[in-house]
Amino acid sequence: MLNDKIKALSSKHGEISAATLHLAAMLFMLMDHLWATLLPAQDWLTCIGRIAFPIFAFQISEGYVHTKNFKKYLLRLFVFALVSQIPFMLFKSIFTNSFGINIFGTLFFGLLSIFLYDKFSNVNSKSKFGSFVMKIFAVLPAILLGIIAQICSFDYGFWGVAIILLFYIFRNDKPGIVIFFTTACIIKYGISIFTYGYHYLYILLCLGTILPVVPICLYNGKQGKKIKYLLYAFYPVHLLILYFIFK
């Protein structure tokens, strides 16, 4: 029943294309990065900026479903991860000296985890129990990639890789997306509160991270204008611009 209501809402108001989602995510990402560099006193910018990554993660799962050439898609993410690394490290040097891997690295691992999940989960089994076991086994490569992402300080780490795969697993179940993603956000910021102590900002960040389930559920499944290379170019370019303005 809940799924039917969400579908009805989407059909009535679902005018959000992939292009619109991407443009919105780029804007929110810029807001977050403005907070990190030029406007650190404006905490609301980073709270709203939390909207960006979940949208990018969702679009990776959609991109996997609709791509005509998976290898080119994966290679493109890898190339832009390499291209964006120096701008990312320059940008990051503004507020920390720690090493990290940019968001394209996380998206690359997320896409790869979906591919491996598909390979293992679609292995033929003669029993329902066998199929269930294979689906559980199919998650293991994503867990391994997530651990590597966490250890190597990928942007959003294990959590980032995990939600990309989960968006794919629940791609035809919008109530499932709402439930799993809300839970994942509460776990993420619950761990932060447990580790670093309570701060009201964690609650606001959690709410900001949950918020993108609304446009995601209103996504109409259409590509809209072709702007994928705008996103690829925008990420490293805006990082460099912010770095040079700050310096």
CA separation for the pair 39, 44 (Å, rounded): 10
The pLDDT score that the predictor gives to residue 2 is: 43
**pLDDT beyond 50 at 10:** no
**Would you say the C-alpha torsion 208, 209, 214, 219 has a positive or negative sign?**
positive
Q: What is the pLDDT of residues 175-203, one digit of tens each?
A: 999 999 999 999 999 999 999 999 999 99
- SS3 of 36-58: the string is HHCCCCCHHHHHHHCCHHHHHHH
**pLDDT beyond 80 at 95:** yes
Q: What is the pLDDT of residues 16-48, one digit of tens each?
A: 999 999 999 999 999 999 999 999 999 999 999
Tell me the average pLDDT of the chain: 90
Angle at 198 between CA 193 and CA 204, to 5 degrees: 85
> Hey, what are 23's tokens?
């443009």
- List CB contacts of 63: < 8 A, sequence separation 6 or more: 73, 111
The pLDDT score that the predictor gives to residue 5 is: 45
Q: What is the pLDDT of residues 208-226, one digit of tens each?
A: 999 999 999 999 988 888 7
- On whether the CB atoms of residues 244 and 113 are closer than 8 A, the answer is no
Question: Where residue 228 falls among pLDDT bands split at 50, 70, 90?
Answer: confident
Least trusted range by pLDDT, from 78-92, 122-136, 233-247: 122-136
Secondary structure of residue 100 in the 3-state scheme:
coil
Question: Which has more pLDDT, 136 or 36?
Answer: 36
The pLDDT score that the predictor gives to residue 130 is: 59
Q: What is the pLDDT of residues 48-63, one digit of tens each?
A: 999 999 999 999 999 9
Strands (E), the chain: none
